[in-house]
Structure 1
Amino acid sequence: MKKSQLSDKQLEDLLGQMPKIKDHRDSRDIYQNIAHRVEKRKKMPTWVIPGAALAAVLFLAFILSPGLMGNNFSEQKSMDSSSAKGEKSSMDMDTAIRDDSANESAGEKENTLMMDSADRKEKTEEFAKMDITNPYESLISLYPDEFDPEITDVFTYAIPDQQARKVVPVSVTRSKETGKTWIQSYTETMPKLKEEEWGLAEYYPMDASWSYDEAKKTLTMDVKENHPYRYGSAAEVMFVDSMTQNFSDVGIEKMLLTTEGNPGIELGNYGLKKELPLTPETTKRRAYLFLTVEGMPNPYLVPTKEQHKTIGEAFAQMWKGDETGYLSPSLPENFKLAKTESNDKVLEITLKDDTKLQEDFMPNLEAILMTASEFDYKGVRFTNANIDQLGPFNLKEILPLPLAPNKKKIESE
């Protein structure tokens, strides 16, 4: 600031122009107040004011010191961290819940598949164990308790006997394969059949190719020009009989025959045959007779070509056998019936008092059960039997009917 250039006179004139100020206090009070302040100022050490200023600085420095700031920052950081952790924990929990929900959904599907797979494996092992303790093991036919239809296919093949006079239905089981049609599995199983070992004629696999139109339910069989089914009347008859029995009751409505892609198969006495009629009714209401083969522990159950109106008529033929005598009777003369009747799809057989059943009656009983299945019965019950148990069957209960005749084992995959 520049030094003032006014003279004392000029200053007095300026001060004189300022408004007057009157102090209404008593003069003694004013004096004492001034004297007190002068005295106080004399007593105050010269270092007090700088010391006070220093103390203030130190106090502020203490407040703003790094340690305190660190503590405050740590506390704030701790609080922020806690808050963040809480939020993160909440977010993690929400994410975990969503993940758990997704994992649970995926896990449930996986567990379901694993359970299905485990159930399938358990069933397979269960039925495998039954091979050792299967009460039906030594019987001729295949019964429902011997396999699980969910994992097992049953295939029946009509196989000519060694004299080529009759075709014998032989049944085998095979594990189901995903992605394969019935006809694929059926034809792929043909090479596994052991006809000669079973005392029958070697017949499968057939020298042919197969195709199936599921929409039209039509099976096409294509053979080569020099196919073996055209030579001799016996070969022709066996071919027609076996194909008719194989495919008449499996949902196929028509079987077309072709030779190297051209319509028809030359069958000698039959001439050029373009298709075979497949009618389920032709495989119903038949009687089962015995075909005894040397070396086999049980006779084969062979259905008659004749169809019968009643189960009584079928029993009559079972006592007699076929007209040529090639197939033997499947019921002994001493098996006498008092009556037969149907009760809610159960065949009720009442025996006469002089009918005595023994263990060697088992093949005869199986012939009765197979014949009953041809007439759409659901079971058979005996009344007035002299024994309560025959093989695995409790004769006081309704007996189950077999699903297929003449079961045989083949090599598994």
Structure 2
Amino acid sequence: MDAMIAIIVFAISYIFLLLDKINRALVALSGSAILIVLGIFSIDSALSTYVDWSTIVLLFSMMVLITITQRTGVFEFIALWMIQRVDGRPIPLFIWVGVFTAVGSALLDNVTTVLLFVPVLLHMIKKLNLPPFPYIVMVIITSNVGGTATMIGDPPNIMIGQAVEHFTFMSFVIHLAPIVVVIFVVTMALLLLMFGRSLVKSSQQRSSEAINLDPYAALKKSPLLYQSLSILFLTIAGFLLHGFIHVELTTVALAGALILLLLSEKDADCETVFAKVEWTTLFFFIGLFVLVGGLEQTGIIDQIAMSFITLTEGDQVKSSFIILWSAGLLSGFLDNIPYVASMIPILFELEEFGMTAIDPMWWALALGACLGGNGTLLGASANVVVAGIASTNGVKIPFIRFMLYGLLIVVVSLIIATVYMLIRYF
């Protein structure tokens, strides 16, 4: 009976998350509350056993770091400087915005990158009289591709990195970054083929507008500028050296956030910074962890793992490619965060049931979930954020129209990832 309750609550919550009519955090927390009220587990057990607090604290710390750094205008400066450097020409601008988005998503995480960059980009697109749809689609796609490269780039990678103890920040860079570079180049080439004609229009007005930009006017030159950039760079360095200094990523990020809060107290008081933290995202994760915990508590995860072993006959190669393609195709429609949250305990169960050397399966899950997020506007948190910002600024992104481009990119990306895994692991 408990198993049936857990399945029903999880399925209903999934449907509401897919419909996106009610706040995602509210849906996840409500489903969690129902499981607790119906006695699937106690609230103490739910919060202590199934919520991955390391992931929550890591996300919170990065939000604090970016919120304070954003006050200096440095991100707007980078965007305006880049637009000026290409003289407002649409195709070079398209390419460099893609590079900036991908790199930013790898180093800062894709949700943070689009939150910072998309409002500035929309403003400049309007000012330069450029078609918004190609740029918005490109930013969504490159944010997910770039975020695949590192442990902190995309929420699914954060979840996997925190779950697997022997994975370090550099593990993700070594295993995922090389193929991400290839996929990024191919993706940008495809996007240019799709949108090239609409981008090549009269550029006289665009050039004059770009020349008149003053990126340095966006910078707020104060001690906070140097403090925030220094701490941000040191934090990223700590991530890169994580495997050598033997300090957890969460500890590095939290230390960076606390130090910057102390240094910037006069310029950015804690109340103001905390008010801008994305609490909705954090509570969504907490609720999601408890929902998946309900499936684990009632034995559903064990049954799925056994069925998976039966289907793949315990074959590592077959298992890896089923995970890659199922994650890639399903994540676009079901949102990659709850999908990965469901798969993590399944992979641990596979290991307990005797499957060895399952690291390629983890990389398959990371590649499939992150790249598959490009399938639809509901596929990843960054997609929802960009579509919301665009809508607020009067730019509508039709669900079906985006899906036609997104699914093509996903299929091409998964084919490249399949070839990469065959060559590298099998």
Normalising by the smaller structure, the TM-score range is under 0.3
Judging by fraction of residues, say which structure has more strand.
1
The structure whose RCO (Cα within 8 Å, separation 6+) is larger is 2
When Rg is computed on C-alpha atoms for both structures, the one with the higher figure is 1
Judging by fraction of residues, say which structure has more helix.
2
Q: How does the TM-score come out when normalised to structure 1?
A: 0.21
